[in-house]
Amino acid sequence: MRDIGVVGCGLMGAGIAEVIARAGRSFVVVESDDFAVSAGRDRLERSLAKAEKRGLVADAACILNRIVIESDLEALHDRSFVVEAIAEDEGAKVELFGRLDAVVSSPTAILASNTSSIPIMKLGVATSRPARVLGVHFFNPVPVLELVELVPSLLTDPAVHQEVRTFVVDVLGKRPIDCQDPAGFVVNALLIPYLLSAVRMLESGFATAEDIDTGMVAGCAHPQGPLALSDLIGLDTVLAVADSLYQEFKEPTHAAPPLLARMVEAGLLGRKSGRGFYHYA
């Protein structure tokens, strides 16, 4: 697993690219167009510069040089391990896996998804190699958080699962947990209903955003309140995961509150847009 590719260089894709580069591996990242390529490189430069300033890496420029960013998916044709990290949109991910199946030439190549909620089976059956497809779900911020959810589908080859687990532990230095394939896996199946409950509480006027978050930080020793955490994750991502959970389980606790949907429609996505439940400079 030395010929690595990453699809997407947004918040999650850039974080995944950074941890792979910091682990000493050179690889290819593919973005959708030249503008996204430039934005992805800027994102990586800023993150690595901060890491160097904090003494977390010795030479940010050297690490950045390990990353080639392209706008053509064909750049992944010779890869043996490709991680998809595009937006949390089931249709877009299914379509991309079909394209990757055609582009990545080696029949033994592993195709992985960073999806936080979409069942891996849906992505695997979009390819001719579902035995070599699995979920590898990192958490934001990727360079900081050690957890990775490994999610095989019913068709994933156990040897592929083990090979990726070894890579995650021995090369990336992350801590994996194994999950079954229902929507949401482990973390989001527990987290998203909690976040939605906080949105409903705000929507109903029970308390302010600040008091809801302070209650969970000061009263339950959470490092961050649910609404601030939603802003960090991205409200569009929270909504997408909630919709995926509701589609699978039809539980009322998984139904997105109207306030969340309206905020996403308005482009109030949290930290990445400068405004969500809070304002950001």
CATH, residue 259 = 1.10.1040.10
Q: Tens of pLDDT along 180-222?
A: 999 999 999 999 999 999 999 999 999 999 999 999 999 999 9
Q: Looking at the structure, do residues 103 and 18 belong to the same domain, yes or no?
A: yes
Q: Looking at the structure, do residues 100 and 213 belong to the same domain, yes or no?
A: no
Q: Is residue 280 part of a domain?
A: no
- For this structure, is 114 an active site residue? no
Q: Looking at the structure, do residues 22 and 138 belong to the same domain, yes or no?
A: yes
Q: Is residue 197 part of a domain?
A: yes
Rounded to an integer, the average pLDDT of 4-13 is 95
- For this structure, is 140 an active site residue? no
Q: Which band of pLDDT confidence, cut at 50, 70 and 90, is reported for residue 281?
A: confident
**What CA–CA distance (Å, rounded) separates 144 from 11?**
13
Q: Which of 188, 230, 244, 254 is catalytic?
A: 188
Rounded to an integer, the average pLDDT of 46-68 is 93
CATH code, 110:
3.40.50.720
Q: Which of 18, 47, 137, 153 is catalytic?
A: 137
Q: Looking at the structure, do residues 38 and 158 belong to the same domain, yes or no?
A: yes
- For this structure, is 77 an active site residue? no
Domain endpoint, select from 128, 145, 178: 178
- Determine the length of the chain: 281
Q: Looking at the structure, do residues 154 and 211 belong to the same domain, yes or no?
A: no
Q: Which of 18, 31, 88, 149 is catalytic?
A: 149
Q: How many domains does the chain have?
A: 2
Q: Is the pLDDT score of 225 beyond 80?
A: yes
Q: Looking at the structure, do residues 169 and 30 belong to the same domain, yes or no?
A: yes
- For this structure, is 113 an active site residue? no
Range of the domain at 225: 187-272
Q: Which of 113, 114, 116, 153 is catalytic?
A: 116
Rounded to an integer, the average pLDDT of 40-55 is 94
Domain endpoint, select from 130, 158, 178: 178
